[in-house]
Amino acid sequence: MVGRYIANLLRSDTRGVALIEFASTLPVVLILLLYGFEVANYGLAVLRVHQIAATTADNAARVRDSISEEDVNEVLIGGKTVGERMDFASRGRIILSDVLSNGLTGANAGQKILWQRCGGALNIAESQPRYGNEGKGAADSSLQTMGKAGRQIAPSPSSAMIFAEVTYRYKPIVSATIFGTPILRSEASLIVRERPSEVMTSSPSSVKSDCSIYQM
């Protein structure tokens, strides 16, 4: 009788059911929550890479009258500052190219990359200039446009264009098992405004952001 009574009490006692259900569903909830964090972080990283490309191209195109090594260095620092929270300086790369008509006619007419400057420590194949290095197109028609297929762009014969290429190795916030560490890329271009000369100026104290240098 006593054993049956105790069994009935245990069978009717449901006070721990909610706790057991919570404990059994907690791993699933945590997995979904962490996955959501990673998705949000990835989306934010993509947005910031686009923002860095647009910001650096815009700031370089806005420099008036003339442009110097110091001006470009400030633009590159500004781009890296935008990505400071995701360690862009160590995990990313900015390539700024000044593109304008090569001034040639006939079969040699096209564009040229007058100067090119870079910033960021990412040194992989994807972080190299995709459309050519400084000087490309100066003596021939090897450079007609900048940009990937379907989105090519070129300045008019009387203007110059700043073209920014930005690459970034994604930094996971939770785990690399969800998205891995893919290379994010963005491009942006703007026409130079109110700058009569595109020749890069420098001073004895100037530091050139050469594209052969990979540093934060």
Domain ranges of the chain: 15-201
Higher pLDDT, 205 or 63: 63
Mean pLDDT, the chain, rounded, equals 90
One-letter-per-residue 3-state SS of the chain: CHHHHHHHHHHHCCCCHHHHHHHHHHHHHHHHHHHHHHHHHHHHHHHHHHHHHHHHHHHHHHCCCCEEHHHHHHHHHHHHHHCHHHCHHHHEEEEEEEEEECCCCHHHCCEEEEEEEEEECCCCHHHCCCCCCCCCCCCCCCCCCECCCCCCECCCCCCEEEEEEEEEECCCCCCHHHHCCCEEEEEEEEECCCCCCCCEECCCCCCCCCCCCCEC
pLDDT tens-digit readout, 48-105: 999 999 999 999 999 998 999 999 999 999 999 999 999 999 999 999 999 999 999 9
Q: Is the pLDDT of residue 2 over 80?
A: no
Tell me the pLDDT band of 181, cut-offs 50, 70 and 90.
very high
pTM here?
A: 0.85
